[in-house]
């Protein structure tokens, strides 16, 4: 699994990582704007125990659009400095996140646009855009 997420970044409350959308077994997909969900514990880089206050279940972090989740899956969004905009986290690590932005251009200050599928960034937890293109912000509760 590598280095687990710092426990101060998971759980319920302000300044913690927010699950963007999730789908528990036997239930329909839920956006966290309707019913907030949070990470209770980390099982692996892509599997987490997630709770909405009433139900706790192990969910897998996936790169899917909202509305396409299967049972047992969740999405976590992050933002860059505005170059690409919102991207989906596909792997959470201690100090970095792996994101998949699909198609798009990212300017890494070398003067050229780079079409990326996967990238790894240091992250902070915030609802604001990242300060620069070398970092991302993961949505907060």
Mean pLDDT of 112-126: 69
Reported as a single tens digit per residue, the pLDDT across 43-77 is 988 999 999 999 999 999 998 888 999 999 999 98
Using pLDDT thresholds of 50, 70 and 90, give the confidence band for residue 106.
Answer: very low
Per-residue pLDDT at 114: 52
Spatial neighbors of 42 by CB under 8 A, at least 6 apart, are 1, 4, 5, 10, 48, 49, 92
pTM: 0.81
Q: What percent of the chain has pLDDT over 70?
A: 86
Q: How many CA atoms lie within 13 A of 36 on its CB side?
A: 13
Closest C-alpha to 5, from 51, 63, 44: 44
Question: What's the mean per-residue pLDDT of the chain?
Answer: 83
> In DSSP terms, which residues pair with 39 in a beta bridge?
50
Reply yes or no on whether the pLDDT at 108 is more than 50.
yes
Query: Domain locations in the chain?
Result: 7-75, 77-138
Reported as a single tens digit per residue, the pLDDT across 18-39 is 899 999 999 999 998 899 999 9
Reply yes or no on whether the pLDDT at 102 is more than 60.
no
Sort strands 136-138 and 56-61 into parallel, antiparallel or unpaired. unpaired
Q: Judge contact between 47 and 38, C-beta under 8 A.
A: no
């Amino acid at each position: 699994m590598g280095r687990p997420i710092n426990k101060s970044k998971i759980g319920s409350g302000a300044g913690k990582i927010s699950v963007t959308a999730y789908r528990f077994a036997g239930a329909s997909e839920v956006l966290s704007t309707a019913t907030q969900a949070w990470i209770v514990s980390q099982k692996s880089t892509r599997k987490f125990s997630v709770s909405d206050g009433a139900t706790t279940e192990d969910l897998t972090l996936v790169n899917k659009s909202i509305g396409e989740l299967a049972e047992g899956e969740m999405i976590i969004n992050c933002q860059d400095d505005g170059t690409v905009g919102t991207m989906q986290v596909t792997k959470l690590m201690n100090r970095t996140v792996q994101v998949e932005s699909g198609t798009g251009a990212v300017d890494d200050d070398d003067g050229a646009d780079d079409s990326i599928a996967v990238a790894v960034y240091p992250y902070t937890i915030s609802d604001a855009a990242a300060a620069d293109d070398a970092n991302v912000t993961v949505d907060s509760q």
